[in-house]
Copies of this chain bind each other. A is one copy, B any other.
């Protein structure tokens, strides 16, 4: 696992169908060397699989928001975790630096689903207020679902 492997992983992340020759041209290896490394990365389970990113609109969960969470006083991460794990629409969440205490990524079927999920988050004790940024158009979605 060296910088060559990391370069290969970066390229494959961008386009998992790039040819070995093309990858080699960028990282400075021959096609066969790249193939050997990719095979090894797969065998070592560093690469878990090759997959596609599908338009989220297809599976109907196309309304998203990033929500900043502001709490009263100090709130332990465990407390936040307890609150958020009860809301299935929460895709992603973490405590963060800055004025907000946490950022929560919510994905729902539509705006009313989003509102309902937000309501559940807000109902939690210690949550002072939230600030939402609703996603207008999704640009990148590298998550493999």
- Residue ranges of A at the interface with B (Cβ–Cβ < 8 Å): 1, 9-10, 12-17, 44-55, 58-59, 64-66, 68, 77, 80-81, 84-85, 88, 90-98, 100, 102-105, 131-145
Q: Is the CB of A136 within 8 A of B46?
A: no
Q: List 23 A-B contacts (CB under 8 A).
A: A9-B52, A9-B58, A12-B52, A13-B51, A13-B52, A13-B88, A14-B88, A17-B17, A46-B54, A46-B55, A47-B54, A48-B55, A50-B53, A51-B142, A51-B144, A81-B139, A91-B143, A92-B145, A98-B133, A100-B133, A102-B139, A103-B135, A144-B145
Q: Is the CB of A53 within 8 A of B64?
A: no
Q: Is the CB of B137 within 8 A of A77?
A: yes
Determine which of B15, B46, B98, B137 lies in contact with A49 in the assembled complex, contact meaning CB atoms within 8 Å. B15
Known: A133-B100, A136-B97. A91 touches B142 (CB 8 A): yes
Report the minimum CB–CB distance from A101 to chain B (whole Å). 10
Report the minimum CB–CB distance from A120 to chain B (whole Å). 12
Q: Is the CB of A96 within 8 A of B136?
A: yes
Report the minimum CB–CB distance from A121 to chain B (whole Å). 11
* A132 vs B100: C-alpha distance when bound (angstroms): 11
